[in-house]
Chain A
Amino acid sequence: MVTRRSLLAASAQCAALAAAAPRLVLADHPGDARLVFVILRGALDGLAAVPPYGEPRYAALRGELALASPTSTGGALKLDGMFALHPSFKNLHALYGSRELAVLHAVATPYRERSHFDGQAVLENGGTAAPALHDGWLNRSLGGLGNAREAAIAVADNVPLVLRGDRPVTSWAPSRLPDAPDDTLERIMDLYANDALLGARLRDALATKEMAGDAGGGARGDGQLGALVSATAKFLAAPDGPRIAVLEATGWDTHANQGAEQGQLAARLGGLDAGIGALKRDLGDAWKHTAVLVVTEFGRTVAVNGTRGTDHGTGTCAFLAGGAVKGGRVIADWPGLTERDLYQARDLKPTTDLRAVFKGVLRDHLGVAAVTLDEQVFPGSAAVRARDGLIRSA
């Protein structure tokens, strides 16, 4: 009986196939550092996720969306004298306490318009405009990882832009369909012999599936990201597994009835929080080598709109969690919320370029050379200095 494993082994013996085989099959001494990149699509309201409760105008500006202060029951969870976390972020708050979470605020990509789709393109392509680059910065960073053979995986059916590009990456998503038999797969591999794209994609998918084992049955109690997170942990914890994973979560575009301590957004944030908690639990020992970056394309208006929601804005928050992270800090060059402090008199003004954060993590966590970051990963970004001190020194 041909198993998927032997099928892969057989393919690998064929020289032509081996040349194109996915990195993760060949990886022998991958580094320890793991990176999980989580994209929140739809523009997360940074002032709801990380309320600046110490800001005098906060409660008035936010009206019915203002969160109760940390001193009241069920209120926001205190970080410092200025900032708190949304009450749904129980796991994140605990991570902050154990110095495994850094909270970033007033961050943004270089994009300054308000289209989700272009905003996400800039977040992922690492350039300064949507059409500028057609591959992703995380893919380009794979070329700068020295002799380490880290491979990256999209825990999604299809590879998000941030991971698309010349370097081979793979993808995995839970399937509820019965598996095709190995004999059929073998024949389809042959069928794709003359089709470079489909051949490579199928080979990667089979190798990844082998590694995932039964991860598809992931626990549902872990929130929106539950099944994806448990699979991610399995991939990243495997000694020969990929070292970089990308996940995505949708539903952050809260134009109407956003809610405050409870409600639509609170439930989403709770799902994200549960997912991060599950990731730490399932990664086990690998957590101490892990950095989890959670980002969104832009923020939302400071003012509440006419339908108890918020419209597209600019500056927002981001999270950096994990055992490898120098946490327990809020990192923000806080611009303030008075009218002249706002961007175009409506949005939180961004004071930190997300690329500086990405560069800091890639350099200090994954060891990507500074010159590679300036010229290839984020072309023309030399003026945007990598943020120091995000990662614990080993």
Chain B
Amino acid sequence: MKNRLRVLRAEQNWSQAELGMRVGVSRQAINAIENGKYDPGLPLGMKIARVFARRVEETFELEEKD
């Protein structure tokens, strides 16, 4: 699954730790999501989209292989 976390985070000028704090996960979790090493569950995905005031589909995108 692709995501636009890095771009959206840069737009807000937030660090990974700050985004993690806003959605209640560790900086390592945000890093793993950004690098495509971990796909978040639905509640976390929705929380992330909500803090960026975006829809989930604007934040995460399914790839062919998914």
User: Is this pair of chains taken from one and the same complex?
Assistant: no
Query: B residues within 8 Å of A by Cβ?
Result: none
- Which residues of A does B touch, CB under 8 Å? none
